[in-house]
Amino acid sequence: MTRSGTVAGVLALLVALCFAAPARADDKDKGPQSDDSKVEIARLKRTVEALRVRLDTLEAEAEVSNREMASVRNTLKRIEARLARLEDGGMSSSSRRSMSFDPAPRTGTGTIYLVNELDVPVAVAVGDQTYVLRPYATRTIPDYPAGSVSYTVAARGYSATTRRTTVYANETRTVTIRP
C-alpha cells in the first residue's frame, strides 16, 4: 500500500468516526450497551490504534527517506560541479598535464621493416593491420604514413607487448622482435 493510500485511509476512518450518528437520548434509557455495539467499539478502537502505529511508522520512514534523498542530492551536486569544472577545462592544483612534441613531419611516408628473431611465429599489429611473421622471417611495410606509430607484438610463450616508435618520411624504421 502506498503512503498516500495509508494516510488517506487513516483520514477516512477519522472522518467516519467524527460523523458517526450520535447516540440518542432514549438509548441511555435502554440500559447498558449491547454486546454487539461493545464488540464494534472495541474493534474500531483496535483499528484506530493500528492505524496510528502505521502512520507513525510511515512518518519515520519518510524522515529516513528524506535524509537519504538529501544525501543523494548533495552527492549529485558535488559530482555535477566537478564535471562542470572538468568540462570547462579547469584542472585542480593536484592535476598534472603532459605534452609531447613529435619532430617527425606529418607529410610523406616511410618504410617499416619487421624482423623476427624468435623461433616461433609472431603477430605484429601496426596501426589497424596485423602481420604474421614466421620464425626468423622479415617483412617490409612500404609507404607507411610518417609520424608516431604504436605497434603490438604477440607470440606463443611470450607476453604481448605494445611499443611506440616514429616513422620518418623517406626513411626506414626497423622493428626487431627478440627474446
What is the predicted pLDDT for the residue at 149?
93
Domain that holds residue 56: 3-87
| Helix axis angle, 3-18 to 35-87, nearest 10° | 150
Residues 10 and 81 both lie in one domain: yes
Residues 81 and 113 both lie in one domain: no
With respect to residue 150, please indicate whether it lies within any of the assigned structural domains. Answer: yes
**Dist. CA 118–CA 112, nearest whole Å:** 18
Give the pLDDT confidence of 8-42 residue by residue, as tens digits.
666 666 666 655 555 555 555 555 567 888 888 88
Give the pLDDT confidence of 48-90 residue by residue, as tens digits.
888 888 888 888 788 777 777 878 788 888 888 888 888 776 5
In this prediction the pTM is: 0.42
What is the predicted pLDDT for the residue at 21?
55
Question: What spatial distance separates the first Cα and last Cα of the chain, rounded to whole Å?
Answer: 70
DSSP string covering 71-131:
HHHHHHHHHHHHHHHHHTT---TT---------S-SSSEEEEEEEE-SSS-EEEEETTEEE
What is the predicted pLDDT for the residue at 40?
87
Residues 37 and 79 both lie in one domain: yes
